[in-house]
Amino acid sequence: MLSKKLEDAINKQINAELWSAYLYLSMSTHFAHEGLPGFANWYEIQYKEEQDHAMKFMNYMVAKDSKVLLKPIEKVDTSWESVLAAFEETLKHEKVVTALINDIVAIAREEKDFATDNMLQWFVKEQVEEEDSVQTIIDALRLIDGKGYGVYMLDKELGQRKYIPISTSATE
């Protein structure tokens, strides 16, 4: 069983992952509405990945005989002034998620909960990838500078992204 402090922190993280999924679903529908199916696809995959992350945390808590407490999901924005603005918000949000995960790692280490620390290392690595992926798109969008053909080409490229489910097992 997890300590109360770790249980609370992971429950907070589950809510953050589900809020992230909701945000990315909103971004996906925004870009679908704007006629940018590739950007919509990229965010739809992010939505699915965030759901997987929440499930991985929930399954871990169940395996550790701890109580998952799902809380209401706060409201998210539903439109963005530009593709760049959406991705800048995404990067800012991913940095918040990274900080939350790092806080849980610190608690696990403080409590010498090596199993939880080990499980969290998957998320630490994942956040490095998340931030890098978003930063790469931001860099491309800045180079394009809102030019129609560049946005069109990036939209086509992001439309090729495929969803690859992760293991949501508590032990992988």
Give Cα 127 to chain centroid, integer Å: 8
> For position 172, what pLDDT does the model report?
78
Mean pLDDT value across the chain: 96
Q: Is the pLDDT of residue 5 over 80?
A: yes
C-alpha 27/C-alpha 29 separation (Å) is 6
> For position 137, what pLDDT does the model report?
98
Parse the chain into domains and list their residue ranges.
Answer: 4-158
Give the chain's radius of gyration (CA, Å): 17
Number of H helices, E strands in the chain: 5, 0
C-alpha 168/C-alpha 148 separation (Å) is 39
Q: What's the Cα-to-Cα distance from 55 to each of 11, 60, 72, 116, rounded to whole Å?
A: 11, 8, 16, 15
Q: What is the DSSP letter of 167?
A: P
C-alpha 160/C-alpha 169 separation (Å) is 27
> For position 21, what pLDDT does the model report?
98
Q: Is the pLDDT of residue 82 over 80?
A: yes
pLDDT 10s digits, 123-159: 999 999 999 999 999 999 999 987 889 999 999 999 9
- What's the whole-model pTM score? 0.94
C-alpha 132/C-alpha 88 separation (Å) is 12
Binned at pLDDT 50, 70 and 90, residue 83 comes out as very high
Tell me the CATH number of domain 4-158, given options 1.20.1260.10, 1.20.1740.10, 2.60.120.10, 3.40.50.1240: 1.20.1260.10
pLDDT 10s digits, 8-61: 999 999 999 999 999 999 999 999 999 999 999 999 999 999 999 999 999 999
